[in-house]
Structure 1
């Protein structure tokens, strides 16, 4: 039986510019194609989960503007429940300016806008949505008090909380013990643990540090190499399918959205990570964030 998922996080409008290379400081260069997509780490993960069949509620904050209205309509069309979306009276919907070079690498600047006003009161107002869920997933584009509240709430209500600690920042030590799972990438792992992940041995050391903090399970995402899983039943590298990347903007978000769907369907840990790696691998072959999120049929047919 599939369990309900709540995604708490950011909703942005992504403005994506393709370029042959990134400019140096003070340099102006001509770009290529320009796109506008729905984005935000929370929104990306919500859409990824919904497209793969997850029962998803999204809690976020948008502005009283056209970007915010477009976002609501978009999430409804994706099959996401939007009762948890609130509106800022003063700040605009968040935006992200993304440049993508010829190698598919990206550089991102985010203006948080209304996302910065998501607060504990918003979560209290949506307590019934949280109570009805089995899985909660959040990121660090939301204010830290929101993450701290979710950690405490998950512990008190026996919910399974997944933290995708992106963008990287230092976390209050008390958060870790209430996390069911943490999913940093290599750079986030180094900031959280001081360990530079360069191979399986160093990944194992980093996982041990995070578990010593109190986290129950750890997955370190390793880009094209796959993901390192450390749980009670398994510890080791799960490789990703080989693909040609054109845009890696949302790979981590697609991974996390797919992962929570797999876990909500009671897949075992390695199977859920394989499922997430396949979804992320397919996503990097396409432009955009949410537009790159695959359906279940696409994963089965393509990879």
Structure 2
């Protein structure tokens, strides 16, 4: 199996269960509260570790107790943490999450040390990164660092997967470094500049991204599964039946499973 390197965010998630989301200016009492290890990068790395992948992580946490705890958490779940640094004087990234009874969520992120991942960190860890074949990115670390790393990896002949979340303004050149892009319903419309009905305009919107240089689109469609789009080929892959409890991290699990499949040689 090919090895995988995740480059991205590491957050502590503060999750409150609510009967409904608050209105502006309104205060509600939580019906439950839990703390989790999160961040899209960390979520994807841990999911890959639990799947049994050969996975390593490049990212930053703070020099606080949360940072030390997170590094231990990654190691306990089979993730090589050689590329994870504790940034002096910085706090570990934090996500504040509300979850309603239907499993829908609202999220606010404080980047902390994630916002301090720089191109020089990519240079520092380059030899370590080169031991992997597949690279999985998200957009909770600086876009400039993501673009820099992707450009170098593309030139090195590596496979690059981009989970383009949260939706962010990206330089056009970045799309040309992406082998697989995995947007959800909202993100594909954002990046393609299309706002029509998702099902009717999916192929048109994906075509915009393909023309920008993305090789393949794997569009997440929630309960409807996913769409694989490459050139003029569009395939629908149905979802497994499930009863959602909490959708936080669902996209991260999808990306981990997809990367694992590619690493195992059973992907598209």
For the criterion TM > 0.5, the same-fold answer is yes
Deviations 1:145-183 (A, max 9, x none): 111112211221000111111000111000111111111
Give the corresponding residue for 1:144: 143
* Aligned-residue RMSD, C-alpha: 1.3
Structure 2 residue 122 is the aligned partner of structure 1 residue 123: yes
> Which secondary structure state, in structure 1, belongs to the residue aligned with residue 243 of structure 2?
coil
- 2-structure distance, mates of 1:91, 1:188: 30
TM-aligned CA deviation for residue 199 of structure 1: 4.7
Give the corresponding residue for 1:217: 216
Give the corresponding residue for 2:50: 51
Superposed, 1:1-303 pairs within 5 Å as: 2-196=1-195, 198-231=197-230, 235-269=234-268
- 1-structure distance, mates of 2:204, 2:237: 17
> Which secondary structure state, in structure 1, belongs to the residue aligned with residue 214 of structure 2?
coil
> Which secondary structure state, in structure 1, belongs to the residue aligned with residue 82 of structure 2?
coil
Q: Is the 8 A contact 1:186 1:197 kept in 2?
A: no
TM-score when normalising by structure 2: 0.97
TM-score when normalising by structure 1: 0.86
TM-aligned CA deviation for residue 54 of structure 1: 1.0
Deviations 1:210-236 (A, max 9, x none): 110011011111111111111369522
TM-aligned CA deviation for residue 65 of structure 1: 0.7
Q: Is the 8 A contact 1:136 1:159 kept in 2?
A: yes
List gaps (5 residues or longer) in structure 2: none
List gaps (5 residues or longer) in structure 1: 270-303
Going from structure 1 to structure 2, the CA distance change for 1:84 and 1:226 (only over 3 Å counts) comes to same
> Which secondary structure state, in structure 2, belongs to the residue aligned with residue 83 of structure 1?
strand
Number of paired residues? 268
- 2-structure distance, mates of 1:199, 1:3: 34
- 2-structure distance, mates of 1:200, 1:163: 22
TM-aligned CA deviation for residue 130 of structure 1: 1.6
Q: Is the 8 A contact 1:19 1:99 kept in 2?
A: yes
Deviations 1:33-65 (A, max 9, x none): 110000000000101111111110000100001
- 1-structure distance, mates of 2:267, 2:84: 32
Deviations 1:181-217 (A, max 9, x none): 1111111111100123635442111221111001101
Q: Is the 8 A contact 1:9 1:41 kept in 2?
A: yes
> Which secondary structure state, in structure 2, belongs to the residue aligned with residue 69 of structure 1?
helix
- 2-structure distance, mates of 1:217, 1:197: 21
Structure 1 range deviating more: 128-137 or 61-70: 128-137
> Which secondary structure state, in structure 2, belongs to the residue aligned with residue 37 of structure 1?
strand
Higher strand share: 2
Q: Is the 8 A contact 1:200 1:237 kept in 2?
A: no
